[in-house]
Structure 1
Amino acid sequence: MNDARALQIIGELVREHRLRLGHSQQDFALLAGLRTQTLRFFEKGHRWPGEEVRRKIEEGLGWRPGSITQFRDQGQTGPGLDAALKTLRSIVPASPPSTDVQP
């Protein structure tokens, strides 16, 4: 799996988990201390966030520190990200309708 695919899958994981928690992009960004655009770019697979932003996202989602980097690294060595996405989708109820505002 290449870096672009890993970014796309991790962005999807972040978005799905955020929605399951009941947060819009704007609400989550405010709670986590991020710019909404930064979160949007990451969720859409446009840009890897820096270490501080990754930490804030992980904390806001209740993920273990370093999870995003670990998912990315696994994506470079095998099917880890695809498997993580499939597992997450199979054990968690479907997300509510999106309340995200797209530019």
Structure 2
Amino acid sequence: MHPEWFLCFFEGSTGRISDGRVIVYCSAEYAGLLPLILPFLQPYPKFIHGANFASGGAGVLTETNQGLVVDLQTQLKYFEEVQKLLITELGEAQAKALISEAVY
């Protein structure tokens, strides 16, 4: 085991399944993509820097931990909502350009 797995990355509770650094944070930091991307379900988020749809314990199949996690189909619906919101905020051309630069 790696000792850094047990370190708290944030100053306080994040409301996430883990307060530690996960691979997404390491990848974002390496790529210079900070600030950290807020969860989609965060109250009043701005999606200019992206959206995090992840749900701990979710699987590809809707039946995986059904009722306990946000399944992949729902995550894809959330992504479509973000696309629509960005088009409304930025206009279609700028929103498409922003989305085309996203890391998936």
Same-fold call, TM cutoff 0.5: no
Point out the structure with max Rg over C-alpha.
2
TM-score between the two structures when normalised by the length of structure 2 = 0.27
Higher helix share: 1
TM-score between the two structures when normalised by the length of structure 1 = 0.27
